[in-house]
Amino acid sequence: MGEINGTIISLDLLPMEHIEGVHYIQGDFREESVLAQLEELVQGRPVDLVVSDMAPNLSGNSTTDGARVEHLIELAVDFATHHLRPEGALVAKVFHGPGYDDLVKLFRNHFKLVKPLKPKSSRDKSSETFLIGIGLK
């Protein structure tokens, strides 16, 4: 592996295998104290890219699950709009379902360019897809 030129910060509820040069925060992104840890590492520097593939454990109740998914994505958008450099990008995992159109609107409210992307690695049957927002409005 080449040397990392920049800062990579990874955040998850679960422990993660150490990758050299990557800062790691184990915690719940919904908690203020965890966001504060992330912001401390960012140190006010403009961020190039925010990637969120956060997904809650599903309860089976589609209303509850949909609301949890949307909340995580809204938090990722909020973080991105406060910390991305003007031409930076947010890539977020979203799910096709009742809340999808609202999330596209949320992205369009904040980004100049919004594109959906279904990578080859994502199974056709899965409702997961990704939204990419580029350039802050």
Ligand X SMILES: C[S@@+](CC[C@H](N)C(=O)[O-])C[C@H]1O[C@@H](n2cnc3c(N)ncnc32)[C@H](O)[C@@H]1O
Interface residues with ligand X (CB under 6 A) are: 11-14, 28-30, 53-56, 72
> Least CB distance from residue 86 to ligand X, whole Å?
26
Q: For residues 53 and 102, which CB has a smaller minimum distance to ligand X in the complex?
A: 53
> Least CB distance from residue 87 to ligand X, whole Å?
25
Residue nearest to ligand X (CB): 29
In the chain, DSSP assigns E strands to 8-12, 22-26, 47-52, 84-95, 111-117, 128-136
**Is residue 93 annotated as part of the catalytic site, yes or no?**
yes
| Alpha-carbon distances, residue 24 vs 20, 46, 49, 108, 131 (angstroms) | 10, 19, 16, 30, 24
Please identify every residue annotated as catalytic.
93
